[in-house]
Structure formats: C-alpha cells, structure tokens
Amino acid sequence: MKVYLDLVFFINFFFDFLILLATKIVLKEVVPFWRLILGSLIASSSIFLLFLSPSNLELFLFKVLMSILIILVTFGRRNFLSDIVYFYLISMILGGFLYLFDISFSYKNQGVIFFGAGLGLNLLVIIILAPIFLYFYIKQEKKSKVEQSITHTVEIYVNKKVYHLKGMLDTGNRLKDPYTGKSVILIDSKVNIPMPRFFYVPYKALNTEGMIPCCKVERVIVDNRVFSKCLIGISKDEFSLGGVDCILPNKFKEEL
C-alpha cells in the first residue's frame, strides 16, 4: 500500500484546524491564531499511528489523551470542560458530514488517520464544502444561543394547576394594577388559562387604550426564580414572537 504522508498530514491538519476554529467561534474563546495552528499540528501528529497497530483500547486511550492535550494547548484550562465537550460535538458533526459524502469512496481510514492513493474528487468536494457546512452550523448555534438568552421558561400556578410557557422579557411592558401595584404578565390569547374570577386593569399603548382581564396567581416561576407579587392578563391578540407564549414585565429584569 502506498501512503502519501504529505497528503495525509494536510488532510488531518485541515480538518483539525476547522474543528478548533469552530469551537473557538461558538464558545467565543479569545485565543491567538498561532495557538489554533499549534493545536492543529499536535492533532495532526497522530500520523505516526500509520506505522503502529494499536488495539482498540490503546487507540481509545490515545484519542482521549490527545484531545485533552489539544484543548489545553489551544484554549488553556479556564473553560476546559465546555471546550472539550464542544470539540467532541463538532468533531462528531463534521464526522457525520464526511460520512454523508462517503469519504471512504476516495480514501480509507485507519483509526484516526485518513489516507488514500491520490487526491480524489470526493476529497476536493469535501475540502470545499466542509468549511461551508461548519459555517452554517456555527450560524445556527449562535442564533440558538441568542434565542435562549432572551427567552425564559415560565411556570404559572393558578387554580391549583400549573401551566408551562415560554416567556420573553419586554422592558416596554410596564403594565401594573393601579390599585395593588402588581405587575402583569401578558399571556397569548391562544393559551387557554381559565380565569373564573378576574378583574380589569387599564392599559395604554401607542395611540390606544383599554381594559385587559387579569387574575391573581398562586406563584410564577421564571428560570427557577419564584415571583408571587404579580398578575396574569390575557392579551386580545396572538403573539408573533417565535413561539413565545407570554411577555414578562420590566420589573422582572433585575432578578433574571
């Protein structure tokens, strides 16, 4: 079997660099470019496995120790756990992408090493598409993190029942009952929360004003924080906020 060491080294270095770069971007790690290069070089040094025949256990232990070394050299110890988790996660995602394009059609693999008899069409396509694939993964991951940062899990206890909702904090929601001073959580009209005993609270919005039906609640839990001095009010309209069921008042901002 003929092995082109320069090609093997380039392939491994290229994909290791992509994985470390994606981990850096997703976790917003601040590391110099040279540490990404150094980490990729260390990862690519596994090329010497071509000349060995490790057992499955030895190969597994080698992978674990090598990944720990790569993370420590590239990112340091500060966020080691999250770094190594995302390193493995992105590695598996990219591995699935490579499998999807049947990477073994152009070249074989031995352990963590990919090698072949030449530079096939599949390899060229994968080298071009892999960065594009990781770009869209990173974009979606960052979008999900933004959505998670502005939305909250909400549990509303009323009439001895609990309702699990998805809430969004709105600094513009300053609605409160003028008599009790309790802030109002606005509930989407499509959410069915029976209110056998309710009262109306006046509200003012842009060029409009009116009354909104509200009721007392036993308690509200937002992201594991308990709020008792609040009311819920049923909005007349449905929300178009990406699956949000309720709008939390500005008063919650200091505690969330």
Provide the residue ranges of all domains of the chain, joining segments of one domain with +. 5-119, 150-255
Residue 114's pLDDT is what?
46
- Is pLDDT above 70 for 46? yes
φ and ψ of 231, to 5 deg = -120, 165
What band does 111 get if pLDDT is binned at 50, 70 and 90? very low
Q: What is the mean pLDDT of residues 184-189?
A: 89
What band does 113 get if pLDDT is binned at 50, 70 and 90? very low
Report the candidate in 242, 15, 31, 25 with the shortest Cα–Cα distance to residue 141. 25
Residue 135's pLDDT is what?
79
- Is pLDDT above 50 for 112? no
The residue with greater pLDDT, 241 or 159, is 159
- Is pLDDT above 50 for 245? yes
Write a three-state SS string for the chain. Answer: CCCCHHHHHHHHHHHHHHHHHHHHHHHCCCCCHHHHHHHHHHHHHHHHHHHCCCCHHHHHHHHHHHHHHHHHHHHCCCCHHHHHHHHHHHHHHHHHHHHHCCHHHCCEEECCEEECCCCCHHHHHHHHHHHHHHHHHHHHHHHHHHHHHHEEEEEEEECCEEEEEEEEECCCCCCECCCCCCEEEEECCCCCCCCCCCEEEEEEECCEEEEEEEEECCEEEECCEEECCEEEEECCCCCCCCCCCEEECHHHHHHC
Tokens of 220: 């509200």
150-255 CATH fold? Cathepsin D, subunit A; domain 1 (2.40.70)
Q: What is the mean pLDDT of residues 117-136?
A: 65
What CA–CA distance (Å, rounded) separates 197 from 222?
Answer: 24
Task: Please report, rounded to a whole number, the percentage of residues in the chain having pLDDT higher than 90.
Answer: 4
Report yes or no: 101 and 130 within 8 Å, Cβ to Cβ: no
Task: Give the pLDDT confidence of 12-38 residue by residue, as tens digits.
Answer: 788 888 888 888 888 878 788 898 899
Task: Give the pLDDT confidence of 156-171 residue by residue, as tens digits.
Answer: 998 888 999 888 887 7
